[in-house]
Amino acid sequence: MSHYQESVYLQGHIIDSLVLAKVLDLILMMGGTFDLEDVHIGKTRAEPSHARIRIRTASRMLLDDILRKIQPHGASIEREADCRTDRAPADGVLPDDFYATTHLPTQIRLNGRWLDVDRIEMDLAITVNEAGSVAQAVPMGEVRQGDQIVVGREGVRVIPLQRPQERDVFGFMESQVSAERPHGHIIADIAARMRQLKERRSLRQTDSHVLLSGGPAIIHAGGREALTWLIEQGFIHILFCGNALAAHDMEADLFGTSLGYGLTAGRAVPHGHEHHLRTINRIRSIGSIEAAVTSGVIKQGVMAACIRQGVPMVISGTIRDDGPLPGVITDSIQAQRAMRALIPDIGLALLVASTLHSVATGNLLPATVPTVCVDVNPSIPTKLADRGSFQAVGLVMDAASFLSELARLLGRST
């Protein structure tokens, strides 16, 4: 994170004298940005005004320069305190007054220095190593007795997201989700991002992975070929899904159906409802999805593409799963842990046609990751897009149409 910031306080007759305007102009002219916080304008001429200004810069040196320049105009640096920590009383138990995180970039102040909190995620605590040199977000269940945990709010600051520099669909607050809006330009922007990320990933740059978290409707609705193509072409690098997507994908390969519907015929086939159970049983007898693909039993589809491309998958189980397939993680906390391990390098998240996996993934993602949520039910994109992030886009549309259009824009011939 390249955020350097300091809060200053300005008081007196700062409005009519234009001292506030001058200080803000100075900050901007020197290349910093600011947020005005707690502005109070005196109600009478005699009553003074005051303003708290949070200044942000890309470098420490620029921040110091700006502070030096604005101090003669009365801007005083707020006295800041270090954060407080307390020991975790037992494994999996946080101190009473623990600080609960947001998904926004966060810093804590230790020994007079602001430290970035690594692996930020909403609804976690913050742990600090013994040397006081590393701060990391930690889930409640992972805490060990005696860990130093940040308590209270003092010495903790959350950095609001900067509007991204790219002038695409992610550059605007798009929390308003509607089925009545055209989707074309949004999908085009997503495709452009994916092209950039593929390029960045080939150069081994950070934050270059594309995650797809999807539900079985992708297969039911006919998005299987498009998704397979996207994985094979190296546009998708991580897959989160449940038992159903994997089962129906392989059902389609073995039987040509998805939940018993003939994918090409478009109607239910006799005894088709058994196909997914027979598929799961078949893979269970082989031992793993990977073995099913490498042995040639499963030839095509999303699972086959992931195995061949080395795309890591986290398949999380739910309470109503059949089987499940081998490799499905049925302990939710373990599944969370496996998903969390793949979060750090994600540069774009596509959450497609799954309430459960979309919400679970959304909760794990820092606000800085551009996120697209696609569902035919507007409540899901609305819930996810409205996360106080500039970078969440909701699309109310069918999964297959979305994936097909995306693949077409990325060069798939139809």
Furthest CA-CA distance within the chain:
86
Q: How many CA atoms does the CB half-sphere of 333 hold within 13 Å?
A: 5
Report if residue 18 touches another protein, rule: CB under 8 A: yes
Question: Is residue 74 at the binding interface for another protein, with CB under 8 A as the rule?
Answer: yes
CA distance 317 to 169: 33
DSSP string, 111-169: TTEEEEEES--TT-EEEE-TTS--EEEE-GGG--TT-EEEESSTTEEE-PPPPPSS-SG
- Smallest separation, CB 40 to another protein (Å): 13
- Of 4, 7, 19, 311, the one binding another protein by CB under 8 A: 19
Of residues 45 and 267, the one with the C-beta less far from another protein: 45
In angstroms, what is the minimal distance from the CB of 71 to another protein? 9
Other beta carbons within 10 angstroms of residue 131's beta carbon come to 7
Q: How far is the CB of 34 from another protein (least distance, A)?
A: 17
The token pair at 179 is 């089925």
By the 8 A CB rule, do 263 and 222 touch? yes
Angle at 69 between CA 65 and CA 75, to 5 degrees: 115
Q: Which amino acid would we find at residue 131?
A: A
Site for another protein in 75-134 (CB under 8 A): 76
Closest approach of Cβ 14 to another protein, in Å?
Answer: 8
Q: How far is CA 184 from CA 30, 168, 178, in A?
A: 40, 13, 14
Site membership for another protein, residue 22 (CB under 8 A):
yes
3-state DSSP of 230-270: HHHCCCCCEEEEEHHHHHHHHHHHHHCEECCEECCCCCECC
Segment interacting with another protein, rule: CB under 8 A, options 73-81, 304-312, 372-380, 385-393: 73-81
From the CA atom positions of the chain, what is the Rg in Å? 25
200 binds another protein (CB under 8 A): no
- Strands 313-316 and 238-242 come out as parallel
Query: What's the closest the beta carbon of residue 65 comes to another protein, in angstroms?
Result: 18
Q: Does 285 bind another protein (CB under 8 A)?
A: no
User: 3, 5, 13, 82: which one contacts another protein (CB under 8 A)?
Assistant: 13
Give the nearer residue to another protein in terms of CB position, either 46 or 203: 46
- Assess 21 for contact with another protein (CB under 8 A): yes
Residue that has been written with the tokens 């969390």 in this structure: 340
- Binding another protein (rule: CB under 8 A), the pick from 54, 69, 73, 84 is 73
* Nearest in space to 186 (alpha carbons), one of 25, 414, 2, 409: 409
Among 1, 12, 78, 179, binds another protein (CB under 8 A): 12
325 binds another protein (CB under 8 A): no
Task: Tell me whether residue 66 or residue 350 sits nearer to another protein (CB atom).
Answer: 66
Q: Is residue 72 involved in binding another protein (CB under 8 A)? A: yes
| Contact yes or no for 137/121 (Cβ under 8 A) | yes
18 vs 333, beta carbon nearer another protein: 18
For tokens 């390969």, name the residue.
253
Stretch that binds another protein, among 71-79, 125-133, 157-165, 272-280 (CB under 8 A): 71-79
Helix (H/G/I), strand (E/B), else coil: 358: helix
Binding window for another protein (CB under 8 A); candidates: 11-19, 105-113, 141-149, 193-201: 11-19
Binding mask 23-52 for another protein (x = CB under 8 A): ----------------------xx-x----
Residues 164-193 that bind another protein (CB under 8 A): none
Least separation in angstroms between CB 25 and another protein: 8
Q: Candidates 67-75, 235-243, 297-305, 326-334 — which segment interacts with another protein by CB under 8 A?
A: 67-75
Question: Least distance to another protein from the beta carbon of 12, Å?
Answer: 4
Identify which of residues 43 and 204 has a Cβ nearer to another protein in the complex: 43
For the bound state, the minimum distance from the C-beta of residue 42 to another protein, rounded and expressed in Å, comes to 8
Q: Residue 49 CB, nearest distance to another protein (Å)? A: 10
Separation of alpha carbons 159 and 163, rounded Å: 12
Three-state secondary-structure class, residue 101: coil
Instruction: Give me the least distance between CB of 62 and another protein, in Å please.
Output: 22
CA–CA gap between residue 73 and residue 159 (Å, rounded):
26
Name the site residues for another protein (rule: CB under 8 A).
11-14, 16-19, 21-22, 45-46, 48, 72-74, 76
